[in-house]
């Protein structure tokens, strides 16, 4: 198959690109490089020993997207392209609504014009808001509490409406929990702009000396050690979940919603301790006040993905931390410092 990856130069996109190429698929990437690096795709080509097509374009440019669909026989789309920082979304909601929702609408219009009606959508566990209980199942109430989560939930609803209006569409909504780690080669990994908003790259940057300490937001949650608990999943496991979703839609067309998580939660302090073990370094941290909007616990019930996709996360916490640290050591300045 020829698969179009929007946002394919980003963290999850580049790892999925690699897995698709290794599985024998043709890959076309569209990315505006606003929060990603073309160098990641060069490294994907090298790791896979295969080429891919890259277009530096913005999804909101309908003419550019029309040209891309007209120049390749695209079978399906994996839609990663989105702004994703919760805090920034609160400060700049219009930017998030325009980029994430308008971009998706333009993409869907161009897919329909081109007769491409298969999409795997990159969603998020933020659509569950503050869950009443854990583990979180796909049938839980949806109640996003920030603009980023609302844009993901809105795109989910748009895709549901499209499918109900025309069942010829095939859609998988994949609700990610907390992707971490990197390809074991250390050639591709997470390279956030500025100070990381995600926990693990912040911890690794503290370990390597880029920041003085990890800020732990709250130690009075009703959890075993008082710090927030999240479901961390290796990015390679997450990427393979997209391949399984494509295979499922090809074999059994329709509309599908699946959590992609491990089914186990780790606290912030557990993650710091695990990274100390992986890095062999002491990682200083300081307790800070809770952040508005943070929940005590969020971890997945992944049983539907196991049943529907034949997929389960197989990489444990030690490997997540070892691979994240390997990427950090090999690329202390991210893609900006490597060849």
Active site residues: 148
Residue 203 · residue 278 · CB < 8 Å: no
Instruction: Report d(CA 332, CA 339) in Å as an integer.
Output: 12
Can you say whether residue 7 is alpha, beta or left, with left for phi > 0 and alpha for psi between -120 and 50 degrees? left
- β-pair partners for 29: 5, 54
In angstroms, rounded to a whole number, what is the distance separating the alpha carbons of residues 235 and 280? 22
Is omega for the bond preceding 153 within 30 degrees of 0, making it cis? no
For residues 150 and 162, give the distance between their C-alpha atoms in angstroms, rounded to a whole number: 18
Range 307-311, long-range pairs (CB < 8 A, 24+ positions): 308/248, 308/256, 308/258, 309/241, 309/244, 309/245, 309/247, 309/248, 309/258, 310/244, 310/248, 311/240, 311/241, 311/244, 311/260
**Cβ proximity of 190 and 232 under 8 Å:** no
Beta strand segments in the chain, E: 2-6, 26-30, 53-55, 76-79, 118-124, 170-176, 178-180, 214-217, 229-230, 232-234, 255-260, 266-267, 285-288, 297-298
Spatial separation of the C-alpha atoms in residues 6 and 10, rounded to whole Å: 9
């Amino acid at each position: 198959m020829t698969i179009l990856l929007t946002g394919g130069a980003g963290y999850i996109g580049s790892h999925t690109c690699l897995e698709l190429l290794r599985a024998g698929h043709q890959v076309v990437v569209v990315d505006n490089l606003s929060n990603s690096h073309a160098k990641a795709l060069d490294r994907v080509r090298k790791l896979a020993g295969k080429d891919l097509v890259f277009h530096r374009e913005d999804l909101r440019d309908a003419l550019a997207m029309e040209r891309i669909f007209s120049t390749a026989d695209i079978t399906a789309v994996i839609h990663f392209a989105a702004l994703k920082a919760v805090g920034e979304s609160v400060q700049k909601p219009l930017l998030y609504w325009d980029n994430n929702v308008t971009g998706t609408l333009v993409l869907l219009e161009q897919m329909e014009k081109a007769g491409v009606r298969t999409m795997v959508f990159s969603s998020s566990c933020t659509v569950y808001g503050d869950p009443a209980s854990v583990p979180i199942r796909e049938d839980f109430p949806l109640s996003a509490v920030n603009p980023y989560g609302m844009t993901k939930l809105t795109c989910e609803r748009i895709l549901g409406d499209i499918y109900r209006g025309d069942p010829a569409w095939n859609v998988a909504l994949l609700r990610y929990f907390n992707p971490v780690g990197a390809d074991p080669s250390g050639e591709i990994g997470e390279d956030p702009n500025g100070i990381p908003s995600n926990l693990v790259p912040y911890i690794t940057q503290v370990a390597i000396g880029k920041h003085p300490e990890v800020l732990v937001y709250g130690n009075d949650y009703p959890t075993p050690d008082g710090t927030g608990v999240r479901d961390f999943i290796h990015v390679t496991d997450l990427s393979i979940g997209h391949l399984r979703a494509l295979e499922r839609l090809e074999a059994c067309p329709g509309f599908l919603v699946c959590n992609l998580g491990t089914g186990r939660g780790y606290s912030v302090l557990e993650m710091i301790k695990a990274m100390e073990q992986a890095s062999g370094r002491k990682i200083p941290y300081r307790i800070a006040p809770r952040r508005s909007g943070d929940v005590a616990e969020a971890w997945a019930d992944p049983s539907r993905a196991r049943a529907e996709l034949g997929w389960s996360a197989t990489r444990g916490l030690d490997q997540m931390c070892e691979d994240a640290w390997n990427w950090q050591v090999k690329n202390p300045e991210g893609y900006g410092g490597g060849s």
